[in-house]
Amino acid sequence: MDAETEPGNSSVSDVSEHSPSASQMRWLWDFNMLSDDPDAHTKIVRIVRDWKRENITRRIQEKKETKRASQAQAAAEKAAREKAEAHAASERKRRIIDEAVKNPLQNLPLLLRLMNFYWDRERKFWFNTEHNISLFQNNPSPSPSEDEVLQEIGQNAWDCILEKRFFIAPSVLKKFKEKIEAEDRSSRFSSSLFDSDADDES
């Protein structure tokens, strides 16, 4: 047995440790095949250039996909966060309204604002621009009694408030106001007729 094949010879292990891998062997084979070709250098340069281009394209695509995935995840997290915040805000509003209708006279300003009424600081009354309704012009008290409230807005509108039907309450209130105004006009007209009859008799 010669030195190259003896079990304890270190030269054998050195050769095995530095043996080329399968991909390296393929490269050496291709290189050897091209070495006899007069255009071998040009072809090798082209192969290396194409390989680099493919790697660059692949890395760019991977970065784009990673960025898209990151953006999609961020958008999903943002949507979930906004949904949770909106739900929490809705719950807070619901609790506030529930507490307000338990003491409606004490919380009347809040309930009127929920009906889209605004406080006119100069003229000292509540006003709804959509329905052109003013409240408490003749009674600017900051804490009206229940009788004063019912006289001002009517029982039906007050029931809507207590039932938290704030969207339809202004329409119900407007009908009540129109009815009161019609009755007032009718009363004034009747009074004027009586006054005319009295003048004729005199």
Which tens digits make up the pLDDT trace of 6-54?
544 444 444 444 454 555 556 555 655 555 666 767 777 787 788 888 8
Sign of CA pseudo-dihedral 119, 124, 129, 132? positive
Rounded CA gap, 105 and 103, in Å? 6
pLDDT of the residue at 110: 93
Residue 160's Cα: distance from chain center in Å? 29
Q: Is 42 helix (H, G, I), strand (E, B) or coil?
A: helix
Question: What's the confidence (pLDDT) of residue 3?
Answer: 44
pTM equals: 0.56
pLDDT at 10: 47
| Amino acid 45: pLDDT | 77
Spatial strand order of the sheet with 118-120 comes to 118-120, 125-128, 133-135
Q: pLDDT above 90 covers what percent of the chain?
A: 42
Residue 43 is predicted with a pLDDT of 74
pLDDT of residue 14: 45
The pLDDT of residue 1: 47
H or E stretch at 124: none
Instruction: Mark the ranges of the chain whose per-residue pLDDT is less than 70.
Output: 1-38, 40, 139-142, 189-202
